[in-house]
Amino acid sequence: MKTRCATVGSHPEHSEACSVPVGIFLPADPGHRKEIAVINNVCFFEIPADDLDALKDFYSRLFDWQFTAMPGPWRYYQIDTGQPSPKGGLTARQDPDHGLVSYVKVEYIAAVIEKATALGAKVVVPKRAVKGIGWFSVLLDPQGNRIGLWEDDPAASA
């Protein structure tokens, strides 16, 4: 998929080709903003923490990020960076090798998991629902880097 750069007041079809994904199109009239679906680009990041409260305080003070506790069986915070994209999350570290995870938005998560494993990836977290929002999975690429996958699906359920 070729991405396009867009600037305020420009149209993505008329902009220069570039490697930066376009997530939001801002026409000259801000009353007519249109979100562009971006597939196969980073849509979310997740920061693991040994001490959630201390790291939440660090990023709040450093970048003025806002944190919202999410419902669920474990402590998890959605990060509002003040920008439209990407969104973020703060979670408890799962193991000593658990580092920053970037999530890539995909159209069909099951197909991407299948393709990734055929290419040598290992599944760390199998496809799981975030009820009413979508599906996620975490893989290890062939060199051991964690990569998250995300599929939007308002019908997702456990």
**Does residue 10 have a pLDDT over 70?**
no
Asked which of 84, 100, 116 is the last residue of a domain, the reply is 100
Q: Does residue 31 sit in the same domain as residue 46?
A: no
**Domain encompassing residue 113:** 106-158
User: Cα–Cα distance between 129 and 74 in angstroms, integer?
Assistant: 15
The count of domains in the chain is: 3
Q: Does residue 57 sit in the same domain as residue 32?
A: no
**Which phi and psi angles does 116 have, rounded to 5°?**
-65, -45
- CATH number of the CATH domain containing 71: 3.10.180.10
User: Cα–Cα distance between 37 and 71 in angstroms, integer?
Assistant: 27
User: Cα–Cα distance between 93 and 100 in angstroms, integer?
Assistant: 10
**Does residue 30 have a pLDDT over 80?**
no
- Cα angle for residues 61, 65, 68 (degrees, 5° grid): 115
Q: Does residue 44 sit in the same domain as residue 32?
A: no
Q: Does residue 96 sit in the same domain as residue 43?
A: yes
Q: What share of the chain is helix, strand, coil (3-state, %, to 5)?
A: 20, 35, 45
In 3D space, the residue among 43, 52, 49 whose CA is nearest the CA of residue 134 turns out to be 43
Q: Does residue 82 sit in the same domain as residue 110?
A: no
Do residues 118 and 12 touch, judged by C-beta distance below 8 A? no
Q: Does residue 130 sit in the same domain as residue 92?
A: no
pLDDT tens by residue, 48-103: 999 999 999 999 998 899 999 998 888 999 999 988 878 899 999 988 888 899 99
Do residues 122 and 139 touch, judged by C-beta distance below 8 A? yes
Q: Does residue 117 sit in the same domain as residue 152?
A: yes
Q: Does residue 69 sit in the same domain as residue 83?
A: yes
> Residue 77 corresponds to which tokens in the numbers above?
């915070």
Q: Does residue 83 sit in the same domain as residue 123?
A: no
Other CB atoms within a 10 A radius of the CB of residue 150 amount to 20
* Residue range 145-149: mean pLDDT, rounded: 91
